[in-house]
């Protein structure tokens, strides 16, 4: 669902508080390509409160973002790839066009192929876990 093309208007202040806390403590922020693109996501940009919270829990200052894409809705110049403070991981499948996967890498993303015709989220999570 969306309002004016964005999901944020559907949430309430308590929803946003829970989402923020989860994001503040996440090892990786997982998001779909369309949402990342439409929302103009640029990766995590922690404020002082978030930095303090992450440091208290022994987490890196900035968690990486992992974007799920089969190749059609994530351009290589998307801000989530080009403007992120830490390299974004694109979780994709073997069916994603090789030139698209290469373009993501050239733009600075780490690309993980998990699945043949669709992204296998269990395999993607396993790959993220292996990567730390």
Q: What is the pTM of this model?
A: 0.86
Q: What is the CATH number of domain 28-47+63-130?
A: 3.40.430.10
Q: What is the pLDDT of residue 123?
A: 96
Predicted confidence at residue 27, as pLDDT, reads: 92
- pLDDT for the residue numbered 13: 83
Domain boundaries, the chain: 28-47+63-130
Residue by residue, pLDDT tens for the chain (132 residues) are 555 665 666 678 888 888 888 888 999 999 999 989 988 899 889 999 999 999 999 999 999 999 999 988 999 999 999 999 999 999 999 999 999 999 999 999 999 999 999 999 999 999 999 877
- Region label for 15, one of left (φ > 0), alpha (ψ between -120 and 50) or beta (otherwise): alpha
């Amino acid at each position: 669902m969306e309002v004016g093309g964005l999901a944020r208007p559907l949430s309430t202040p308590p929803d946003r508080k829970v989402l923020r806390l989860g994001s503040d403590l996440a090892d990786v922020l997982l998001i779909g390509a369309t949402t990342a693109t439409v929302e103009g996501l640029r990766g995590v940009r922690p404020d002082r409160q978030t930095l303090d919270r992450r440091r208290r829990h022994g987490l890196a200052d900035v968690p990486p973002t992992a974007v799920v894409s089969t190749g059609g809705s994530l351009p290589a110049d998307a801000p989530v790839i080009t403007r992120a403070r830490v390299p974004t991981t694109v979780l994709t499948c073997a069916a994603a066009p090789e030139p698209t996967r290469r373009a993501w890498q050239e733009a600075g993303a780490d690309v993980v192929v998990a699945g043949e015709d669709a992204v296998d989220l269990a395999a993607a999570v396993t790959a993220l876990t292996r990567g730390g």
